[in-house]
Amino acid sequence: MHWLDWAVVGIYFAGLIVVVWWSSRKQTTSKDYFLAGRNIGWFAIGGSLFASNIGSEHIVGLAGQGASSGMAMAHWELHAWVMVMLGWVFVPFYYRSGVFTMPEFLEKRFNSKARWILSVVSLIAYVFTKVSVTVYAGALVFKTLLPELSITLFGTVWDAFWVGAFATVVLTGIYTVFGGLRAVLYTDTAQSVVLLVGSFFITFFGLKELGGWNELRAVCADNAAGFALWRPLSDPDFPWLGILIASPVIGIWYWCTDQYIVQRTLAAKNLQMARRGALWGSFLKVWPVLIFLVPGLIGYALHQKGVIAIPPRLDASGEVIAAINGDQVFPTMVSTLLPPGLRGLVVGGLMAALMSSLSSLFNSCSALFTVDIYEKIRPGASERHLVTVGRFVTTVIVLLGMAWIPIMPRIAQGGLYHYLQSVQGYLAPPITAVFILGLFNKRINGHGAVWGLLSGFVLGMAKMIIQGFYGAGNGKIHDPAWLAAVGDFNFLYYSGVLLLISTVVIFLASYLTAPPTQEKIEGLTYSTINKKEIRASVGMFDIVLTVVTLGLVLGMYLYFSFWL
């Protein structure tokens, strides 16, 4: 790191402090703290949606997947069409219901049991997947860029990995605790710009060093089967049918029902701003394939030509298990290709991604606990008391995320991004089924929602645990054979199985019990919502942005389906 790099990073943090200080004023009510007073415009909402999604696990993990599996993960990064669904299909129900959280919406549509189940599962999932994965990915970059950095505390030497991990978690926790969602939204907007600029330079300098786009295509064409967007059914990891099944299920859960994402749209000034923010976010979501995944392809090509040297992937015992450690592609390109100053800008972009994702997550977790759990235990608590509890919960989540970091090396051997998508593939199906059926079938009741969520979560967690012991990889257990078969069963197909089982359970439990009352579903299903009010909120800009976004997604699919 040159002095210019440190100067750029310092300027970034100075700007961040100013924004947090400005945002932290007048945080007196729970609406201010958790939903920024419901007074945010569409541009900030869309930028926050994009920046919250693109964390360090995206920059590091997606580049790693590009180097190791080509375009296979592009399907998850072309979910801009799912964000269009968020704006047009889901947001009207959420915004008009006046809820703070997604579990609260489930209580309004179904019952309090459904709310409790989703709240608890979401909190557990956030702490042990998103926080830890994001911090781990960022710490890997610090270890590569600042290998000489170390601090001695309590007689123990902490290297660059741990210094970077703990520093970013603590700093992010501080500004989220004091700023609330308003700080998260406005810093996210600024950070998304830094993120895009930094990643553009990685792509630009990488292609320049390689010799251009055609040279990249030529190198990847030598292994066309391993870098194609669509894989045959015989592919053990990404068969095309599994992609078609699991990718939409995970996408709808993440973009349309997850508190971590949807909370941004709930902070809008009005319904039109909420929808437009989702659509603006969908437009931004089109580009990660080019600025995050393609650099991984470039890194692979540069490694093949001997321009850079990417270290191999090692297991816990130090044995080589893959020729390239995909998670080291991005940090290696940053340290090798970029000149002073620009390297600092990219590091600032990484910090932006890491901190925006963590800040969004911290705030969502505190909202889930305070609104969905604490208020139920302590009804009638003052607004100031709820804000204090929210800040305390954020602090606890910061500490839990830090405590989980040492476990990450054991569970990220297959690549961070692949690990993250597989875990989400086990969590998403029951939630996706409950929300979609609840919105479009007024006969679905609370019994169906509760049993659908419970059965899906139990089966999903069972598969994840079995996979950890009996799945393919180091230390695989082969006996009994049926457990080994379950462990090896492709996570994409299992997502489809979970969705089917959850749907059947929801229907059976609902139709075998009494239907919900008209009062319970009023305004919360497609057949009972005020469609005239929704149509009145639609502007020409919304329609144009939708058409442009969907056209870009279609164009990317067509190009990369035949690019090799």
What's the CATH number where 364 sits? 1.20.1730.10
In a domain, 60, yes or no: yes
Residue 322: predicted pLDDT = 72
Q: What is the mean pLDDT of residues 534-541?
A: 92
> Helix, strand, or coil here: 314?
strand
CA distance linking residue 384 with residue 343, whole number of Å: 43
In a domain, 490, yes or no: no
Asked whether the predicted pLDDT for residue 32 surpasses 70, the reply is no
Dihedral Cα 417, 421, 423, 427, nearest 10 deg: 150
In a domain, 547, yes or no: no
Asked whether the predicted pLDDT for residue 278 surpasses 80, the reply is yes
Asked whether the predicted pLDDT for residue 33 surpasses 50, the reply is no
CA distance linking residue 225 with residue 321, whole number of Å: 21
| Lowest-confidence segment of 263-267, 505-509, 559-563 by average pLDDT | 263-267
Residue 319: predicted pLDDT = 74
Q: For 92-112, write each residue's pLDDT tens digit.
A: 999 888 887 898 899 999 999
Rg (the chain; Cα; Å): 23
Higher pLDDT, 27 or 499: 499
In a domain, 435, yes or no: no
In a domain, 194, yes or no: yes
Task: Give residue 36's pLDDT band: very low, low, confident or very high (50, 70, 90).
Answer: very low
In a domain, 16, yes or no: yes
In a domain, 30, yes or no: yes
CA distance linking residue 201 with residue 340, whole number of Å: 12
- Domain that residue 250 falls in: 3-403
- With contact defined as beta carbons under 8 Å apart, do 158 and 17 qualify? no
Domain count, the chain: 1
16-19-21 Cα angle (round to 5): 105
In a domain, 465, yes or no: no
Q: Is the dihedral of CA 261, 419, 493, 563 positive or negative?
A: positive
CA distance linking residue 105 with residue 288, whole number of Å: 31
Instruction: Kindly state the tokens that stand for 142.
Output: 């610090």
Task: Give residue 407's pLDDT band: very low, low, confident or very high (50, 70, 90).
Answer: low
Q: Is 341 left (phi over 0), alpha (psi -120 to 50) or beta?
A: left
Asked whether the predicted pLDDT for residue 83 surpasses 80, the reply is yes
Task: Give residue 341's pLDDT band: very low, low, confident or very high (50, 70, 90).
Answer: confident
